[in-house]
Amino acid sequence: MKIGFYVNTAKRNAKAALKPLTEKARSLGLVVTENLSEAEVLITLGGDGTILRAVHEFDSVSILGFNLGGLGYLSAVGEENFELALKMLATGAYKVSPRTMLEVKKQGGRSYVALNDIVITREMSGHAAILETEVNGRAATRYMADGLVVATPTGSTAYSLAAGGPVLLADSPVFAVTPINPHALGVRPIVLNDDVSLTITSRRRVNGVAEHIGVYADGESVFKLGGDESLEIVKYAKAANFVELEGYDPYKVLSRKLGWNEREV
């Protein structure tokens, strides 16, 4: 197998880990290439941000995250298991799991892709945004809120979760729409099938003023939405491929990362 290491050079421990991991991989019979687009598996050394950058830069390569960051929801392997993970790659003790991505575009504009989420949020104002949503061309609801997070299952444990959204398992054929600080108690997140088209329109206030609405894909600003302008979000035609090592249990990962099984003393 041909592998490559995608390193977050801003992290000293990531750069320090590269040489011994490269030597270990080669001793196991793995071919380490510096031409990362040729790799069958790309091992990221960093945190979840490093994985997101790798996915956007190398969308045809399977990703395995070695976590050298903080909490690391996407990074499956902790430092204590780096060598074990390499051995499992060398022996084929893994599978590739496709992860849904989202595509967002404004009418007449280019499209952008996100693995985690698309965030539509008010900017530079203390007023709430007014966002109308349509599902497959049918009116769904009008949100008066600071914004919306449209999250994939992979991204459901990121900003969407912090905003009160649901946890979705990675292979769920759905995405979640979570309002940010809604101005009505009855407004709650909604889960939609991932084969729908979601249209979101920014409406003007009663006095005709339009909020400044920013649109972000995986945390990167992609465009602005003016008054009465719409965007469309759909499932992207390609999936991001993640390596799941043998014995991977998504419930254990969630339990460990979210502290669900911690006992009070």
Residue scoring higher pLDDT (70 or 128)? 128
Q: Which of 224, 222, 206, 204 is nearest to 214 (CA)?
A: 224
- 48 included as an active-site residue: yes
Report residue 232 as tokens.
């469309």
Q: What is the pLDDT of residue 131?
A: 96
Q: For residue 262, what pLDDT band results from cuts at 50, 70 and 90?
A: low
Evaluate if residue 167 carries a pLDDT over 90. Answer: yes
Evaluate if residue 251 carries a pLDDT over 90. Answer: no
- pLDDT digit string, tens, across residues 64-113: 999 886 667 787 788 889 999 999 999 999 999 999 999 999 988 899 99
Catalytic residue among 48, 117, 146, 218: 48
User: Distance from first CA to last CA of the chain, Å, rounded?
Assistant: 47
What proportion of the chain, given as a percentage, has pLDDT over 90?
Answer: 73
- Going from N- to C-terminal start, the domains of the chain cover 2-99+239-258, 102-235
Q: Which residue has the tokens 């992290």?
A: 11
The CATH number, out of the four listed (3.40.710.10, 3.40.1350.10, 2.60.200.30, 3.40.50.10420), of the domain defined by the range 102-235: 2.60.200.30
- What mean pLDDT, rounded, does the chain reach? 91
Q: What is the pLDDT of residue 134?
A: 97
Q: For residue 11, what pLDDT band results from cuts at 50, 70 and 90?
A: confident
DSSP codes joined into one string, 180-197: ES-SSTT---EEEETTS-
Phi-psi region of 167 (alpha: psi -120 to 50; beta: other; left: phi over 0): beta
Q: What is the pLDDT of residue 188?
A: 93
What proportion of the chain, given as a percentage, has pLDDT over 70?
Answer: 97
- CATH level 3 topology of 2-99+239-258: Rossmann fold (3.40.50)
Q: What is the pLDDT of residue 258?
A: 76
Q: For residue 141, what pLDDT band results from cuts at 50, 70 and 90?
A: very high
Q: For residue 13, what pLDDT band results from cuts at 50, 70 and 90?
A: confident
- pLDDT digit string, tens, across residues 210-229: 778 999 999 999 999 988 99
Q: Which of 112, 113, 134 is nearest to 199 (CA)?
A: 134
- 116 SS3 class: coil
